[in-house]
C-alpha cells in the first residue's frame, strides 16, 4: 500500500513494524490515516425537526382604531385630546388639613403604644431592682431571674424602637403643622425645617427647640399678633416639662450605667425605671398636645347633639342670622326661642 500523502510504500501486514490486524492503519512515515474516510459537512440544525412554516399574511395597511386612542408617548408628544367620554379621571390632591389630621391620628396611636411599652419597661426595671434588694439577704431562684432578664430585654428592645418611630412621625407632623400655621398667620416660620430636626435630635438643643417650635405653632394658629411674644399654653407646657424630664433621666441612666461597681449598677436600674416612667408620661403628653394643636389648626366640625325646634320666634335680620350660624359652627346651640340642642 502506498500512502497518498507522502507516496511511500508501507510494510506488509506480517512485518514486525506493521499494525495489528483490525486496527486503524496509519502511514509509518507521515502518520496519515490509510483507511478511506469520507467527511460530510452538515449545518448545525440539520438533524433537528423543523417546525412547519406559517404562511405570511398579506399586508392589510396601517392599524385602524374604532375611536381615537387614549394612550400617547407623553415624553415625546403632548397628551391626546379628551374623547367623547371626557378626560381621564385624575386623583385630587389631598388638602394639608386632611394630611395633618391623618398624620395626627397615626401619631396618637403610635404614642399610645410607646406609652404602654415604656410603662412595661418601667415595671420590669422596678421588678429587677426589687430582685437586687432581695438578693442581699437570700439567694434567688433561677426562675424569676430568667423571667426578669427576658422581660427587660424584650421590652427594652421594643420600647426604643417605638419611641424612635414616634419621634420621626412627630417631626413629620410638626413640619405639616408649622406650614399650616404659617399660612394661617401669613408669616414665615422662625426656624427652618432642618434646624428644627437637628435641634430636636442633638443633646442640649433638644431641651428647648421642640417646645419652642410647638409654642410658635400655637401662637401663629391662635391668630395672635406676630410681634407679640409666644407663650405656651397648658398642654404645651405639660409636654415640654415631660419631654425635658425624660431626656435628662435617660441621659443620667446611660451615664450611670457606665460605672462598674455594684452600687452603680443598682443606681442604673433605678434610673432606667424612672426614665421609662418619664418616657411613658411624655408619650401621653404627646397625645394631648398633638390633639390640641391639630384641633386648633385643622378643626373638624362634628355634631354635639341633636337639634329640636321648641318654638318659632320673630323673623331675624341677615346680620343676626349670620351670627347665629357662626355660633352653631363653633359648637354652640341655637338659642333665643328658635331651637336648642338636646344631648
DSSP single-letter state for residue 306: E
Mean pLDDT, all residues of the chain: 78
| Cβ proximity of 199 and 205 under 8 Å | yes
- Residue 252's CB is within 10 A of a number of other CB atoms, namely 16
List, as one string, the DSSP characters of 234-266: HHHHHHHHHHHHHHHHHHHHHHHTT--SHHHHH
325 and 260 belong to one structural domain: no
Q: How confident is the model at residue 246 (pLDDT cuts 50, 70, 90)?
A: very high
Residues 259 and 119 in one domain: yes
Write the CA distances from 176 to 126, 211, 221, 285, integer angstroms: 39, 16, 13, 19
* pLDDT reported for residue 239: 93
Q: Cβ neighbours of residue 201 under 8 Å, at least 6 residues apart?
A: none
Say yes or no: 199 and 248 in one domain.
yes
Per-residue pLDDT of 290-336, as tens digits, reads 999 998 888 875 555 555 455 555 665 656 555 555 554 444 443 34
Claim to verify: residue 121 and residue 222 sit in the same structural domain: yes
The DSSP secondary-structure symbol of 204 reads T
Distance CA 2, CA 25 (A): 12
Integer angstrom CA distances of residue 195 from 172, 213, 249: 14, 10, 24
The x, y and z cell numbers of residue 310, run together, are 321648641
Cell of 102: 391623618
pLDDT of residue 123: 92
Whether 286 is covered by a domain: the verdict is yes
- HSE-up (13 A, CA, CB side) for residue 80: 13
Cα–Cα distance, 133 to 270 (Å, whole number)? 11
326 vs 191, which has greater pLDDT? 191
Q: Is residue 50 part of a domain?
A: no
My answer on whether 203 and 332 are in the same domain is no
53 inside domain: no
Whether residue 201 sits in one domain with residue 150: yes
Q: Does the residue 115 lie in any domain?
A: yes
Tell me, what's the pLDDT at 340? 41
Q: Number of helices (H) and strands (E) in the chain: give both, helices first.
A: 7, 2
Q: How confident is the model at residue 288 (pLDDT cuts 50, 70, 90)?
A: very high
Q: What share of the chain is helix, strand, coil (3-state, %, to 5)?
A: 50, 5, 45
Lowest mean pLDDT among 67-71, 101-105, 218-222: 67-71
Give pLDDT tens digits for 101-143: 899 999 999 999 999 999 999 999 888 888 888 777 777 778 8
Question: What is the residue range of 175's domain?
Answer: 96-297
- What pTM did the predictor assign? 0.60
* pLDDT score, position 20: 63
What long-range pairs does 158-161 form, CB within 8 A, spacing at least 24? 158/117, 159/114, 159/117, 159/118, 159/120, 159/121, 159/276, 159/279
**Count of domains forming the chain:** 3
**Distance from C-alpha of 295 to C-alpha of 205, rounded to nearest angstrom:** 28
For residue 193, is it within any domain?
Answer: yes
Same domain, 28 and 102: no
CA nearest neighbour of 172 among 122, 121, 231, 106: 106
| Strand, coil or helix: 280 | helix
- In a shared domain, residues 103 and 22: no
Amino acid at each position: 500500500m502506498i500512502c497518498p500523502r507522502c507516496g511511500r510504500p508501507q510494510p506488509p501486514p506480517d512485518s514486525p513494524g506493521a499494525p495489528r490486524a483490525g486496527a486503524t492503519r496509519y502511514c509509518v512515515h507521515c502518520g496519515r490515516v490509510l483507511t478511506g474516510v469520507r467527511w460530510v459537512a452538515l449545518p448545525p440544525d440539520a438533524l433537528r425537526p423543523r417546525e412547519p412554516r406559517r404562511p405570511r399574511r398579506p399586508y392589510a395597511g396601517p392599524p385602524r382604531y374604532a375611536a381615537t386612542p387614549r394612550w400617547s408617548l407623553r415624553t415625546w408628544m403632548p397628551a391626546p385630546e379628551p374623547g367623547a367620554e371626557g378626560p381621564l379621571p385624575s386623583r385630587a390632591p389631598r388638602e394639608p388639613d386632611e394630611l395633618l389630621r391623618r398624620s395626627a391620628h397615626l401619631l396618637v396611636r403610635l404614642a399610645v403604644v410607646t406609652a404602654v411599652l415604656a410603662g412595661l419597661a418601667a415595671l420590669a426595671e422596678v421588678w429587677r431592682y426589687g430582685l437586687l434588694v432581695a438578693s442581699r439577704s437570700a439567694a434567688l431562684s433561677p426562675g424569676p431571674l430568667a423571667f426578669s432578664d427576658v422581660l427587660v430585654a424584650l421590652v427594652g428592645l421594643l420600647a426604643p424602637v417605638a419611641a424612635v418611630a414616634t419621634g420621626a412621625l412627630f417631626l413629620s407632623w410638626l413640619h405639616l403643622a408649622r406650614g399650616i400655621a404659617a399660612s394661617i398667620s401669613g408669616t414665615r416660620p422662625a426656624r427652618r425645617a432642618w434646624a428644627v430636626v437637628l435641634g430636636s435630635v442633638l443633646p442640649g438643643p433638644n431641651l428647648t427647640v421642640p417646645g419652642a417650635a410647638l409654642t410658635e405653632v400655637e401662637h401663629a394658629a391662635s391668630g395672635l399678633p406676630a410681634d407679640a411674644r409666644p407663650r405656651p399654653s397648658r398642654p404645651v407646657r405639660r409636654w415640654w416639662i415631660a419631654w425635658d424630664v425624660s431626656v435628662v433621666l435617660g441621659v443620667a441612666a446611660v451615664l450611670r450605667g457606665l460605672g462598674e461597681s455594684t452600687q452603680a449598677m443598682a443606681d442604673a436600674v433605678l434610673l432606667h425605671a424612672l426614665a421609662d416612667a418619664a418616657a411613658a408620661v411624655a408619650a401621653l403628653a404627646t397625645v394631648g398636645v398633638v390633639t390640641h394643636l391639630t384641633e386648633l389648626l385643622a378643626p373638624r366640625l362634628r355634631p354635639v347633639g341633636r337639634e329640636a325646634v321648641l318654638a318659632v320666634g320673630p323673623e331675624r335680620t341677615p346680620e343676626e342670622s349670620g351670627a347665629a350660624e357662626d355660633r352653631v359652627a363653633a359648637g354652640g346651640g341655637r338659642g333665643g326661642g328658635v331651637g336648642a340642642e338636646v344631648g
